[in-house]
């Protein structure tokens, strides 16, 4: 059995090329899409992530409005900054980089975002709108900003012509960022979905039933080779930094022996997240125009 590597860099390049084309069309009509990145504090990993987003913005022709803020900022001061960006006509998408310092409430910051500028697609009003729709076709046609990582997974599967309808999908992880919304997306695409987690009884048996197995639990090499059905499609959303290096939630080296297709870490889902962030921003600008 030959293994298919699901190349997120290549898939993201396709999305970003479309973003650049749409951005140029908007610029020619007098509107440059703008993405605001809010970074609180000096976390090294967050600085790297934001730097990548700024570079991708510039490469695709979007305006990048970066807002660095001190770790000591108060909740009210941060919310004031968000409201300022909500009112800024140059800004069509806003992302507040997480995690925030412990004294700040990320839920309150998320609720303060203008849903129309929700580049991450995580505002409850946006999530509620698309989750009510029955089919994945309807979700895409709605124009609602979708959570970037789950939507990136769906686009990666589409570009690689991975069938979803009629298949058994198991998502391991129940976060509001990935697990829950991705489960709803796969359901809208006509998969039979099981949303599992670290406390699922006989989790290994549940995983072995999956034609499509998604690992989004945040634990390095959590999914073992023996848990994977032969020929299954394995999507690894994990990004875990350890003293030994960077690992996903799947034991990648061992999983290659049984999986039919698999995402690498890095270079799998990660690039798709950034690409969908820019796509949400351009879509917001198009709707404004």
* H or E element that contains 93: strand 93-96
CA 289/CA 287 separation, integer angstroms: 5
Q: Please tell me which residue in 81, 97, 127, 283 is annotated as part of the active site.
A: 97
Q: Is 283 annotated in the active site?
A: no
Residues 6+ apart with CB under 8 A from 163: none
Is the bond into 266 cis (omega within 30 degrees of 0)? yes
Q: Are strands 4-5 and 261-262 parallel, antiparallel or unpaired?
A: parallel
CA 162/CA 233 separation, integer angstroms: 8
Question: 3-state class of 23 per DSSP?
Answer: helix
Q: Map tokens 């798709």 to a residue.
A: 272
Q: Please tell me which residue in 81, 117, 118, 120 is annotated as part of the active site.
A: 120
Q: Is 53 annotated in the active site?
A: yes
Q: CB-based burial of residue 91 (10 Å sphere; 0-12 exposed, 13-18 middle, 19+ buried)?
A: buried
What separation, in Å, do the N-terminal and C-terminal C-alpha atoms of the chain show?
50
List the catalytic residues: 53, 97, 120
């Amino acid at each position: 059995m030959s293994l298919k590597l699901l190349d997120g860099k290549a898939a993201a390049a396709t999305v970003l090329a479309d973003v650049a084309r749409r951005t140029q069309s908007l610029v020619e009509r007098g509107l440059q899409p703008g993405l605001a990145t809010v970074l609180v504090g000096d976390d090294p990993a967050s600085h790297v992530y934001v730097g990548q987003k700024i570079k991708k913005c510039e490469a695709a022709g979007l305006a990048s409005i970066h807002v660095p803020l001190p770790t000591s900022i108060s909740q009210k001061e941060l919310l004031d900054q968000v409201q300022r960006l909500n009112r800024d006509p140059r800004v069509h998408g806003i992302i507040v980089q997480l995690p925030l310092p412990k004294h700040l409430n990320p839920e309150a910051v998320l609720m303060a975002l203008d849903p129309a500028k929700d580049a991450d697609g995580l505002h409850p009003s946006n999530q509620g709108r698309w989750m009510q729709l029955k089919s994945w076709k309807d979700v895409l046609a709605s124009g609602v900003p979708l959570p970037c990582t789950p939507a990136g997974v769906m686009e990666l599967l589409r570009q690689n012509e991975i069938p979803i309808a009629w298949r058994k999908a198991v998502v391991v992880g129940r976060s509001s960022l990935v697990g829950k919304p991705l489960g709803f997306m796969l359901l809208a695409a006509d998969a039979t979905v099981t949303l599992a987690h670290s406390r699922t009884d006989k989790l290994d048996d549940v995983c072995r039933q999956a034609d499509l197995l998604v690992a989004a639990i945040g634990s390095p090499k959590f999914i073992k080779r023996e848990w994977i059905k032969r020929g299954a499609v394995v999507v690894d959303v994990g990004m875990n930094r350890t003293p030994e290096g960077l690992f996903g939630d799947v034991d990648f080296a061992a999983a290659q022996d049984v999986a039919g297709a698999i995402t690498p870490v890095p270079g799998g889902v990660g690039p798709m997240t950034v690409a969908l962030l820019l796509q949400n921003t351009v879509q917001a600008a198009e709707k404004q125009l």
